[in-house]
Structure 1
Amino acid sequence: MSDLGTWASEATKKRGWSYRELARRAGISHSLISKVFSDDMPPSADFCIKIASALSESPEKVLRLAGILPSSPASDNDTLQELIELARNLPPEDQKELLDYARFRYQKRKG
């Protein structure tokens, strides 16, 4: 199973969904999901974007997992990657507040 398939399996289990439910929410066929996640067919960008939307994830993350976009340096650290994705979806004033907090924590650790 590909990185995308493994991730999708975990994401659907976490939500209590089957692949059929994911297919319904993404507006794609169950057979297409089965083919892509079992590596019988490569995922298209459109497929990835629909899966991302159904799972409320960033399209960039899913496109990277599918190998359509190159992996980012932060993808080696899941926590950092999630923080970046969450920050991108915050309004600018909340992004600044998050940055101020991160700087505070960094300075506190530095001593």
Structure 2
Amino acid sequence: MHFLSEVLERTETDKKSADPVAFVMDVLLPEATVHALGAVHSISLDKAKEMYMRGTEFDSSEITQLGEQLQSHISSKPRQKLDSFLSNYKKALECEEFLRRL
């Protein structure tokens, strides 16, 4: 964040936000993240931006593991909702029509 704040200070533009934190978080940080994704994965900036916009991708084993960890720390009513969600999620992954729509 310190580096991005310095970039903001050096920026000579009339589009500077009145809120420097918002400008760093909403403009500079996403831009820096896209450039980092492009460099790390050796992809174009357009592909890096698409990757950034999609967000983090989790596979089914990671989601299942998270569900199991949550179940051990929550009360019964939220646990029932989580069980229902996990059941529906597993059914969706087994459904060919659902997978085609992805």
TM-score range, shorter chain: under 0.3
- Tell me the TM-score normalised to structure 1 length: 0.26
- Tell me the TM-score normalised to structure 2 length: 0.27
Bigger helix fraction: 2
